[in-house]
């Protein structure tokens, strides 16, 4: 059944846009429990809606040879709309997001934002490519490992100390997510292994990209700006630049060197036939990424990772309900394990370096304002692999 942007969904997206915008610009107190709960709800709902609509568009274009690839366009076009919306909000609220990006004077810690934006775009590209190969439930089984990679990456990037209790709590939560996702998928015996391994590999690369974005963006938030709208704007600007560079590389490489005769008009044709689906995918992308950055500015990166874990559970369960599945005993067991892991972390005593304040200080004077070379190598590797992704025609 073709996706249509219903009246109720349109109203929900419009209200969500207002809430996220006001919270990003501090028109409402983002520190309050009510605001955090509302933004988290929008984050979870729009994430699930984005996954469902994106998968449907991928299914529609499955038999069409799109150039450079369907995944590239499904990543770039929502990213481009996010860029337009962020720039409009920046102009409305008097923010300058162009300094250092258009041959103007560089801003402080510009390299951090460039790395965060590149990791952001290519992490999303790998997520879409994984969805092109298999069901969302399998993809989110692999993405359940993202909290682990984020927590471990925060150690060298954010100068965090290794917390055994935190690591074990996230591990328990991830096991619960994997059980839940596998049960909702009908068990791993129901997976099409011809594409499952490639989808799992792409999902792991997406985890690395988003973990890098979370850690680098959090470091930039601490050193450069604690304003979430500016942080989201900078990430969006550089993510869009990464997408433009990727498209230019493949337009030049494919036409002049590879002599690729892939079709680009099919995307325009599908846009004209299914504008509601593309608009929904783009708006939900903007909203769930903006909500993610907003919550990242409010919490430590490990806490944000656990919220990501809960989001994955929500997406898997909602996808199961949409497809007519029911909550079976393995899924309930998985949900209980996830809740146990989260509660274990949240109940950590103060002497175990737990989070005492929801908002980090704007500046961290005791830390060096630089990104470690291993992280630079990780981001470069993700960008390099993502640049060659169109060769797989996903």
User: pLDDT tens digits for 168-221?
Assistant: 877 787 787 777 666 665 554 544 445 667 777 888 888 888 888 877 777 776
Euclidean distance between CA atoms 341 and 272, whole angstroms: 46
Mean pLDDT, all residues of the chain: 76
Contact 120, 209 (CB under 8 A): yes
Sign of CA dihedral 254, 256, 259, 263: positive
Q: What's the whole-model pTM score?
A: 0.82
Mean pLDDT value across residues 119-138 = 85
Contact 12, 213 (CB under 8 A): no
Euclidean distance between CA atoms 199 and 130, whole angstroms: 4
pLDDT at 300 over 80: no
pLDDT at 222 over 60: yes
Residues near 110 by beta carbon (within 8 Å), at least 6 away in sequence: 100
Residues near 65 by beta carbon (within 8 Å), at least 6 away in sequence: 262, 263, 266, 393
| 24 vs 323, residue with greater confidence | 24
User: pLDDT tens digits for 332-372?
Assistant: 787 777 777 767 765 655 444 434 333 333 344 444 456 67
Euclidean distance between CA atoms 116 and 95, whole angstroms: 19
């Amino acid at each position: 059944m073709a996706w249509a942007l219903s009246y109720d969904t349109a109203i929900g997206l419009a209200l969500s846009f207002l809430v996220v915008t006001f919270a990003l610009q501090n028109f409402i107190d983002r520190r309050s429990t009510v605001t955090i709960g509302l933004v988290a709800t929008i984050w979870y709902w729009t994430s699930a809606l984005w996954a469902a609509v994106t998968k449907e568009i991928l299914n529609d274009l499955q038999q069409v040879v799109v150039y450079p690839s369907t995944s590239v366009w499904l990543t770039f076009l929502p990213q481009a709309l996010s860029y337009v919306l962020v720039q409009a909000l920046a102009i409305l609220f008097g923010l300058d997001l162009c300094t250092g990006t258009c041959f103007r004077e560089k801003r402080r810690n510009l390299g951090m934002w460039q790395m965060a934006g590149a990791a952001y775009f290519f992490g999303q590209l790998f997520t879409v490519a994984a969805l092109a190969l298999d069901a969302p439930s399998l993809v989110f089984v692999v993405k359940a490992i993202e909290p682990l990679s984020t927590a471990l990456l925060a150690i060298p990037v954010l100068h965090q100390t290794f917390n055994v209790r935190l690591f074990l709590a996230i591990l328990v939560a991830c096991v619960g997510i994997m059980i839940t996702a596998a049960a909702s998928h009908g068990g791993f015996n129901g997976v099409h292994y011809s594409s499952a391994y490639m989808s799992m590999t792409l999902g792991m690369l997406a985890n690395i990209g988003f973990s890098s974005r979370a850690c680098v963006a959090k470091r930039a938030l601490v050193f450069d700006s604690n304003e979430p709208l500016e942080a989201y704007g900078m990430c969006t600007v550089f993510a869009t630049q990464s997408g433009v560079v990727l498209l230019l590389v493949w337009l030049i490489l494919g036409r002049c060197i590879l002599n690729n005769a892939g079709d680009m008009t099919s995307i325009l044709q599908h846009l004209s036939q299914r504008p509601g689906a593309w608009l929904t995918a783009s708006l939900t992308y903007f909203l769930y990424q903006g909500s993610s950055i907003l919550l990242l500015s409010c919490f430590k990166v490990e806490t944000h990772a656990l919220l990501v874990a809960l989001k994955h559970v929500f997406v898997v369960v909602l996808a199961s309900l949409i497809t007519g599945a029911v909550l079976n005993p393995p899924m309930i067991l998985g949900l209980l394990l996830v809740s146990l892991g989260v509660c274990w972390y949240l109940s950590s005593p103060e002497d175990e370096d737990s989070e005492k304040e929801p908002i980090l200080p704007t500046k961290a004077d005791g830390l060096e304002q630089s990104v470690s070379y291993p992280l630079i190598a990780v981001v470069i590797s993700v960008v390099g692999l993502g640049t060659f992704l169109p060769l797989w025609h996903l």
